[in-house]
Structure 1
Amino acid sequence: MEKEVWRFVLQQQSDQRLSYLVQKLDVQVPGFRKNGKITSKVRPLLVTQLLKPKQLGRMSNNEVELHEDWEEVVDWDAISEEALVTIEKVPPSLVLFKLLSRGEKEKAVRVYQAWMDQHGIEELLRVEEERKSEFGDEKKVEAETKNEEAIPSPTPVVSSSNEEKRLEKIHKKLEQKIQTLQQELSKVQTEFTEYKKTQKERLDIEKKKVQEQKQETTDAQRACQKVEAALMEKEEAWKLEKKAWEGKLKTLQEENNALHAKLLNPPTPPPTAVEQEVAATVERDEKKKVVLLGNPRNTRIFKDCPCEIRIVEKSDLSSLSIEEGEAVWGLAYKVNDQLLVEAEKRVNQPVARIRTFLELKEKIEKEKGQYEKQTMER
């Protein structure tokens, strides 16, 4: 968009002004000599060369001026964007050129866009031509062109008078600006003094708050240290109490284990005469063969058992096999029911489930009773 604005500005310049820009910027155009006549074919070439980044950069740095009188009269630092859009008598191309040459590219684009929205390109070109004639643009160009001689005219006195008026007007504006700046400076100094005073008061308050917070922090740290010391004492007492309870718990567990062992393994009374005779008979006779699935660990219960017990560990159930005449008992509290079902399928024989250790003892006692009864009948 910036290049489009530059193109508009350059296309509105007269042949004399384009020649001035080409000489000022030392632009080389094939087939065109400096001070030569600008034809309709050469003009687009000149505009194209001036639109190159290097030339645009030089023009954007205020290296050239197109109308110094008007540029000095307008206060470019103070004039608003709205005032530029509604400015009268000055050709739009000169307004845009001054903005671009001051490096105010965005501002120039906005002003150009506002004119396009307001007038359109055809109306804007008409306004450009009208204001050029009113502004006396060509006369200024002739004065700036070094290669042309000034035409004698009875107007020098008028020009000198206009120059004095112009300088006086500039002087008044500068005085007004200086006065305004002095007033603003005085206001800023007053505000700065008040600001310093306010800041000092705020700083004193903040310092006081910081001191109070430091004191509160110190008190809090002391209180925290006391609490930490009390907690450490309680922690040590708790550790000692915990150690004592752990010792008591260990003693109770040992006593409980001993009682449990006595319950599972009660002392066996000496065998009676009948039992001794039965035992002797059992040794002589063939014993009942039992395959026990699962290890009860306590093998003392098999003492004086009339059965020949073969224990199969849980891990060996996958290779279980039985002999003819062997009964199968399964310790359901050692081996889960699914494994017992698989064992039944494997040996094609029902497995007697024994749910608890006491049930195992009762079953052995029952076998003893049956065996004694069979022995008595014999």
Structure 2
Amino acid sequence: MKYLFILGRNVELSKAEVFSYFEREENKILNYQIDKNGLLLDLERPIQEIVNFFGGVLYIGKVILEGEKNEIQKKLDKTVLYSGTSNKLNYAVWNFSENYEFVLNYLKKRFKYERLKTTFKNMTGKINLQEGEDFDIPSSKLLDEEFFVFDYKNKILFGRIVEDYDYKNVEKRDMEKPIRRESLAISPRISKILINLSKVKNGETLLDPFCGIGALLSEALLQEIKVIGIDKNKNTISGAQENFKWFGFAKENYELLNEDSTEVKISSAMGIVTEPDFGDVLKKIPQKSEALKTLKKFEDLMIKVIKNFKSDISGRIVFTSPYIRIGKKRVKCDIEKILNETGYQLLNEIPEFRENQVVGRMIYVLEK
């Protein structure tokens, strides 16, 4: 089965997340192709209602038909494109094809022949990619249908968007939880991405050694992953407990410890997923010496924590680290130092930042 994943602003990170998710689910990717922010996957098994498990996926589309240019019109003629009860149709078409105009003209003629009162919505909305490019998205939310066209192995693929990310609900529950730390808490989007990169499955246990008020752990618990959260700050542990109570999470699925993660002992866990303390919040670009001092402190902390839990963790370690702007460049932690000291191997290193952000993230995925 072929599906289109329309990725978010950090295409490299979103792609890594999607690939890790399907590895975890043991749903083999038979083939793939990427065009701009469109990732076409040929999957071993069909999927349904999964978009909200991701942090870096905006929409999922399903391929309805495929063929060469001289075949596609006949196949479209035999396909029901709109089955709504109203004769009014607002639609948009995502463009990942050199044959976009050909398919769009067909749709306009087809809907006119079917006597539908249609309004075609151009992709006038914009999202800025981390790499600096823009990509187009629908500006209107009042769409009855979203189609897409994608060129794949000398064929035209045509399909429709079947799932879109529920921003409103995710934002609502994040804003309404009783304890929040706006400047420090990790977002649901990044939390989901890190969890998927870890490949920890539902029913398994995830450890966050710097859990704060439990923002990341909440996303794991919503996926039926068991969690252990540790934090030195007693108030943040109390905040996590209050948030978990508000969510209604079963107590047997989580353990919260007010301890030091460089020393505390735990029962086993499948993986570590965490955003450690990045140090003082920097609002101005620091001197290089100050940035390097912050990074060294971070490296030493992570080495102690990884060593402390190494015998208890059987799977991956996924963590973020400061990616600090100095002038026109950025500096990152010495990952080789962390690897050499802990005996782990580097699987992935992906930057996540916005252009004017002083401290961005470098995301690391490690394995024994």
TM-score range (shorter-chain normalised) is under 0.3
Higher-Rg structure is 1
Higher relative contact order (CA 8 A, sep 6+): 2
Q: Greater strand percent: which structure?
A: 2
Q: Greater helix percent: which structure?
A: 1
Report the TM-score when normalising by structure 1.
Answer: 0.19
Report the TM-score when normalising by structure 2.
Answer: 0.19
